[in-house]
Amino acid sequence: DTSETVNAENPNCSTELPEGYLQRVEHGKETAGKRQKRKSDARNPLERYHMKYLCVTDLCAQGWCEQQMVYSIELPGFLQPERVALMDRGASIHLARELEVHDIVSVCTKTREDSWAVKFLNLLTTISVLQAGGPVRECPVFGEIDGIFLVGVIDELHYTPKGELELSELKTRGRPSLPTNAQKRNHHLQVKVYKHMFDAMVRGQMNLDNLISHLRLRPEQPLGAHIKEHAEKAGLTVNCFGDLLELTCLSLTFSDLPNIDRLTLEYHYQKDNTLIGTETVHFGNIEEELQDYMAFWKGWRETKGVDIEEAWKCRSCNYLDICEWRKTMGTVINHTKRTKQ
Ligand code: SF4
């Protein structure tokens, strides 16, 4: 995933000010006022930022630095051009891989339900390819963890020669070396959440009422002509969005697809797409691991920045000059130094 790639490169990024920085700092100052307002705001972050659901990559960004993730929502457009270039190169490698196993067809969407229908049609295709024993790329996953709706896209699923279902996540790197442990932690979290969501889906635990109420979609909404045409080509007869949802749920429940057996990370060098290394990830109780993350989204606690031991992350952070957490941390560091003297 390219957003992690950018994080993965964080320690190496230049801290030179990007063009337009002064203007952006002014914008940042404004948000200090907004922050005061936020403290007296009774809404939780999901409500405050008008987010109906989280992407799994949001959790990864939160795992790197929650404060940085919040700034990236409040101050979009802060990304340095060299990071945008890294993301573009990563996206090209992902796209080339995807095209190895299937074609990409453009579908015209008119409503929010149409846009979500595309994801469910892709999921239905994925189910039938996996049932036939084939590999799939860009597999959509949906699910609820601790009352919060999550959406993600698994890079690749395939069967190993032993018949195990393996999830393989591609990470592209700007340098030909493996990431640091802090970066790996995020990648591990990402694939563990994907496994949790996929396994729940194939066990028939995707709850349609929850999905509709979280995403505020209208099941009775007729599907657009283009979507219907595409569904018919895939042998499906669907009229409204609810038809497609029910069909997806039934297909998942009766698919007999197994849980994911293995989680693998593949690190590639962006410049020439050579393999740097692979890593197997062990699966644990992800709900327990995510409790503190979810406490933030539910508004049970304030935003946190990095711990003092991980203050090195701040050196390459776009928000270093405006970061309130960093200022507080500086006070703590100075206080600790004085106490030791
Ligand atoms: Fe997080 Fe440090 Fe950036 Fe603040 S300066 S947002 S604490 S990484």
Interatomic CA distance for residues 101 and 272, integer angstroms: 21
CB of residue 65 inside a 6 A radius of ligand 1: yes
Q: What distance in Å separates the CA atoms of residue 147 and residue 155, rounded to the nearest whole number? A: 25
Of 7, 9, 68, 80, the one to substitute when testing ligand 1's pocket (max ligand atoms within 8 A of C-beta) is 68
Distance 263 CA to ligand 1 centre (A): 30
Spatial separation of the C-alpha atoms in residues 121 and 117, rounded to whole Å? 6
What's residue 284's pLDDT? 84
Place of tokens 């006022």: 33
- Ligand 1: does its nearest atom lie under 6 Å from the Cβ of 67? yes
Contact 61 CB / ligand 1 (< 6 Å): no
At residue 267's C-alpha, the angle toward residues 261 and 273, to 5°, is 125
How many A from CA of 183 to the centre of ligand 1?
A: 15
Whether 306 is in the pocket of ligand 1, judged by its Cβ within 6 Å, is: yes
Q: Which pLDDT belongs to residue 97?
A: 65
Which one of 73, 306, 321, 332 would you pick to mutate in the ligand 1 pocket, going by the greatest count of ligand atoms within 8 A of its CB? Answer: 306
Check pocket membership of 63 for ligand 1, CB cut-off 6 A.
Answer: no
pLDDT at 59: 96
Inter-CA distances, 45 with 104, 143, 208, 305, Å: 35, 19, 24, 15
Closest ligand 1 atom to residue 320 Cα is 5
**Contacting residues for 180 by C-beta, under 8 A, at least 6 apart:** 11
Looking at the chain, which runs of residues are DSSP E strands? Answer: 54-55, 136-145, 148-159, 165-173, 262-269, 275-281
CB of 326 within 6 A of ligand 1: the answer is: yes
Predicted confidence at residue 339, as pLDDT, reads: 56
Of residues 211, 201, 195, the one with CA closest to residue 262: 195
Residues 290 and 59: beta-carbon distance below 8 Å: yes
Pocket probe for ligand 1: among 186, 310, 320, 324, the residue whose CB has the most ligand atoms within 8 Å is: 320
**Across the strands, what pairs with 305?**
none
SS3 for 272?
coil
Q: Is the CB of 72 under 6 A from ligand 1?
A: no
- pLDDT score, position 79: 62
Nearest to 118 by CA among 134, 106, 136: 106
Residue 22 is predicted with a pLDDT of: 29
Mean pLDDT split into 10-residue runs, the chain, 341 residues: 30 28 35 59 90 95 95 79 62 64 74 94 93 94 94 96 96 90 94 97 91 95 92 90 94 93 95 91 91 96 93 91 85 55 53
Classify residue 300 by its DSSP letter.
S
Q: Is 313 in the pocket of ligand 1 (CB under 6 A)?
A: yes
| 333 alpha carbon – ligand 1 mean position (Å) | 15
* Ligand 1 centre distance from Cα of residue 144 (Å): 29
Q: Which atom of ligand 1 is nearest to the CA of 306?
A: 7
Q: How far apart are CA 170 and CA 333, in angstroms?
A: 38
Can you list the domains of the chain with their CATH numbers?
2-340 (3.90.320.10)
Note the pLDDT of residue 12.
27
Closest protein CA for atom 2 of ligand 1:
314
pLDDT for residue 105: 73
